[in-house]
Amino acid sequence: MQKIKEITADIKSVNLIARIEKVATLTGASGQNYMIVHLVDSTGRMEARKWTVNEADKQNIQPNNFIELIDAATSEYRGQLQVKINSYQILDKDELIKKNIDIKEFVVVAPIDVEKDFIELMNILNALENEVYKNITMALIKKYENSFKYYPAAMTIHHNVESGLFWHSYTLVKNALAIKPLYKYANVDWELLICGSILHDIGKISELTDENGSDYSLEGKLLGHISIGNAEIAQIAEQLDYTNSAKGVTNKFVTLLQHMVLASHGKNEFGSPTEPVIIEAIILSTFDNLDARIYRVNEEVNKVDLDSWTGRLPSEDGKMFLKHKK
């Protein structure tokens, strides 16, 4: 049985077992339905097409189901490899076990040591002096520890892998610490930046339905992770007596931490309810955007051959990117 990473355009017949990440059923110019099926295994991702769709297909081909493709055909569309689904069967977990296949073979995992890096992050937090920042951040991590360590950072676009949320947040913290010696002249509250980096996407745990990132929850669709994260900070702050909503009293440091979350996308048109008006929020939103762009472009570059171009990336204003290094 082949792995996604092993499939090339030269392989005309593909036999593959993969997990279905998401499915879109569309209507073609002929009025017939067809499916775009996003497949994943531990080696990577690829798209598949099913050009003839019936009701049984709609019931069977669902996110998080395991699918075995039999004699699928390869093709390229706008420089991207695809497979055409001819014959398939849906497998349950018992059938995978009978085939001696581990479920972990269908998950892309962040290239980090989560447990080791989590300990380092806790050490960084424990060394902070600002009790408000530290206690709120610690309380939210304790509340969501397992999800924080293993959820993806998104369904698509960036860090959509197991432990992607932690990987992305940890990277931003390490970036902040890396530039600290270079900006000694700047009036930066580094502890606010560290805690803002950890918490800026904490709302994604509620925004996504599960650790596979297979869909957005109702709360995620109606509120979004930024609003959810802001509310989480407010709730924890009240529990820790840093705010008193009845008296209208809020600790200044709570408000600063909330601003880091609310301004984390940088601009209103990018989803931030408010734009950065403190230097720490400028740094956070810049690193957030940078980390997401590096991940996204790198993912697309890795899909094409050396000295070839990617397809156009909507997140990069429709630009194509050259793979110039193996």
Interval 157-203: pLDDT, tens:
788 899 999 999 999 999 999 999 999 999 999 999 999 999 999 99
* Residue 231 banded pLDDT, cuts 50, 70, 90: very high
Q: For residues 133 and 146, what is the distance between their CA atoms, to the nearest angstrom?
A: 21
Phi, then psi, of 74 in degrees rounded to 5: -90, 155
Q: What is the CATH topology of the domain spanning 114-299?
A: Hypothetical protein af1432 (1.10.3210)
Identify the pLDDT of residue 14.
Answer: 85
Q: For residues 9 and 30, what is the distance between their CA atoms, to the nearest angstrom?
A: 27
* Residue 243 banded pLDDT, cuts 50, 70, 90: confident
Angle at 203 between CA 200 and CA 206, to 5 degrees: 165
Summarised one tens digit per residue, pLDDT across range 195-229 is 999 999 999 999 998 887 778 899 999 999 999 99
* Residue 78 banded pLDDT, cuts 50, 70, 90: low
Helix (H) or strand (E) holding 77: strand 66-77
Q: Domain limits of the chain?
A: 4-106, 114-299
Number of neighbouring beta carbons within 10 Å of residue 144? 16
Q: For residues 255 and 240, what is the distance between their CA atoms, to the nearest angstrom?
A: 14
The mean pLDDT value for 124-147 works out to 97
- What is the percentage of the chain residues whose pLDDT exceeds 90? 61
- What is the percentage of the chain residues whose pLDDT exceeds 70? 98
Identify the pLDDT of residue 305.
Answer: 81
**What letter represents residue 309's amino acid?**
W
| CATH architecture of structural domain 4-106 | Beta Barrel (2.40)
Q: For residues 277 and 134, what is the distance between their CA atoms, to the nearest angstrom?
A: 22
DSSP one-letter code for 112: S
Q: For residues 191 and 26, what is the distance between their CA atoms, to the nearest angstrom?
A: 48
